[in-house]
Amino acid sequence: MPKVYLLDYVAGNVRSLVNAIEKVGYTVEWIKSPEDVEKADKLILPGVGHFGHCMTQFAEANYLPAIRKHIDSGKPFMGICVGLQALFEGSSEAPSVSGLGVIKGRLDRFDDSSKSVPHIGWNSANTTDKKVYGLLPSSKYYYVHSYKVPYKKGELEAQGCSVATARYGDEEFVGAVAKDNVLATQFHPEKSGAAGLRVLKAFLDGEKESGIAGLEAMEEGLTRRVIACLDVRTNDQGDLVVTKGDQYDVREKTDGGNVRNLGKPVEMARKYYEQGADEVTFLNITSFRDCPIADLPMLEILRQTSKTVFVPLTIGGGIRDTTDTDGTKVSALEIATMYFKSGADKVSIGSDAVTAAEEYYAAGKKLSGKTAIEQISQAYGNQAVVVSVDPKRVYVADSSETKHNAIPTTTPGPNREKYCWYACTIKGGRETRDMDVVELTQAVEAMGCGEILLNCIDKDGTNSGFDLELINQVKNAIKIPVIASSGAGNPGHFGEVFAKTKTDAALGAGMFHRGEYTVKDVKDFLGKEGLLVRQFED
């Protein structure tokens, strides 16, 4: 198989990229030193995280002259995400750090006054006049970033670039840019399903001007993200199964109270990918305490899944500082690293985030730099850290009865209380803490969390629709994206949550696992409601 060289310099999920490259018929050779760059015919620079951190790492390891030489020699070069950003002159993310300056221009941050930042999800990469490396106006691609190259018509074109653009809110930015032997994508082709694989293949095959003529362009903008979630645990027979609880109780009410077994994680993830799921989330809902960390069954699930599922994968459960079975201390960052190396794009932190937030407030809102959220987001970028929140309603007759952030509710409590606040829980809802969702989400946002997975124990497994009041309260409290979770029972509930809240994404579990509806049913419904969605491409 022909080879492509990948620069092994930066933390992140490179396994997905390797899988994607292999899928389109190439093998990967790693570049481990600047001297190796000369060997490369085709070179790919993947990148995640902080622009300044990446560029400084390159510079310190003396890669910059070798990369410049490769590009100047006319050999094929591809930059992905921060790999695109590196080609420009600089970024307001790290104003004192220089980029390679292969293309003139600078990056700035998305305006978060009226939209969530980071920009996470599926958006266009529209080439108006040319065929560029298989990019199609009818396709959507997966983006995750806070900084962008603003698009000003004609500026990059005047430098000899072909540009593919995307729009987020009222900001138009560069989704991909091609110049001579260089292709750079702000989106992740390895996470963009068939559309992304096509771009990767076109680059590797040297098909600069490939594409399909006459396709109808999709409306520009971010699509509504629909996520399938798989709660995974070992059942009483010792098998790893996808399960689903009612308000977090995963045992059957009959048949001796067995753990509900709804299928096998890898197979189900693939099924949802093929139904058009925009992301797949695995939650390890019980920790595998008797198992050495390096053998965690979830690692193998990720390795297998990432070979066939080319959309983002999130893994949650057990991400905290831990002591291994042999007594070795293992940090949350090390556990996250294992997950990223096995194919995860994001890790989701539950219980540990609540403890960290408690400490943050106890210290007078001071960041310690030592929490899992801070350490993982520093190393892998904010976009890689999700906090999964498991709140429970606490009813009060009046908001003055509590120091917590209470809201009026249209679903009164058991004693007709007209207000409620949402108490955070840990250990899968087993323990309730004296902290509300506003406090928690604001604290973890300050620590560097990039996205909130907002469950609701009262709604979980009820099929009665999302808790819109909870979602609105959290959306109003923070700037980072929110994934609405718990309660979805039919496609209409997804329509409702997108219509009545500003949620950035919505997640379903039981209704998909029980086969009542497919992800495609949800997307078709949303499409009919006039919402922008991405459909699965073969």
201 to 220: interface string for ligand 1PR, x by CB under 6 A: --------------------
Q: CB–CB of 456/425 below 8 Å?
A: no
295 to 324: interface string for ligand 1PR, x by CB under 6 A: ---------------------xxxx-----
Closer CB to ligand 1PR, 178 or 505, in the complex = 505
Q: Is 235 buried (19+), middle (13-18) or exposed (0-12) by CB count in 10 A?
A: middle
Q: CB–CB of 196/120 below 8 Å?
A: no
- The CA distance from 317 to 533, in Å, is 29
488 lies in the binding site for ligand 1PR (CB under 6 A): yes
175 lies in the binding site for ligand 1PR (CB under 6 A): no
> Locate tokens 């939209």: which residue?
115
348 lies in the binding site for ligand 1PR (CB under 6 A): yes
Sheet containing 27-31, strands listed edge to edge, beginning at the edge strand earlier in sequence: 27-31, 3-7, 43-45, 77-80, 182-185, 171-179, 162-168
Closer CB to ligand 1PR, 190 or 352, in the complex = 352
Considering only 278, 436, 460, 504, the residue that binds ligand 1PR (CB under 6 A) is 460
343 lies in the binding site for ligand 1PR (CB under 6 A): no
Closer CB to ligand 1PR, 126 or 485, in the complex = 485
245 lies in the binding site for ligand 1PR (CB under 6 A): yes
- The CA distance from 415 to 396, in Å, is 9
The residues carrying an active-site annotation are 81, 188, 190, 231, 390
Residues numbered 4-43 forming contacts with ligand 1PR, rule: CB under 6 A: none
Phi-psi region of 127 (alpha: psi -120 to 50; beta: other; left: phi over 0): beta
Closer CB to ligand 1PR, 44 or 338, in the complex = 338
Residue number closest to ligand 1PR, CB atom: 428
Q: Residue 148 Cβ, how far from ligand 1PR at the closest point, in Å?
A: 30
- The CA distance from 237 to 259, in Å, is 10
Considering only 175, 265, 381, 510, the residue that binds ligand 1PR (CB under 6 A) is 510
Q: Residue 509 Cβ, how far from ligand 1PR at the closest point, in Å?
A: 3
386 lies in the binding site for ligand 1PR (CB under 6 A): no
Q: How many CB atoms lie within 10 A of CB 38?
A: 12
Region binding ligand 1PR by CB under 6 A among candidate stretches 241-249, 364-372, 413-421, 472-480: 241-249
User: What is the distance between the terminal CA atoms of the chain, rounded to a whole angstrom?
Assistant: 23
263 to 302: interface string for ligand 1PR, x by CB under 6 A: --------------------x-x-----------------
Closer CB to ligand 1PR, 125 or 280, in the complex = 280
Q: Residue 247 Cβ, how far from ligand 1PR at the closest point, in Å?
A: 8
Q: Which long-range contacts (CB under 8 A, 24 or more apart) does 200-204 make?
A: 200/20, 200/21, 200/24, 201/24, 201/25, 201/134, 202/133, 202/134, 203/42, 203/76, 203/78, 203/133, 204/2, 204/4, 204/21, 204/24, 204/25, 204/26, 204/42, 204/76
- The CA distance from 188 to 299, in Å, is 22
Note the residues at the interface with ligand 1PR (CB under 6 A). Answer: 229, 231, 244-245, 248, 250, 283, 285, 316-319, 348-352, 388, 390, 428, 455, 460-461, 485-488, 508-510
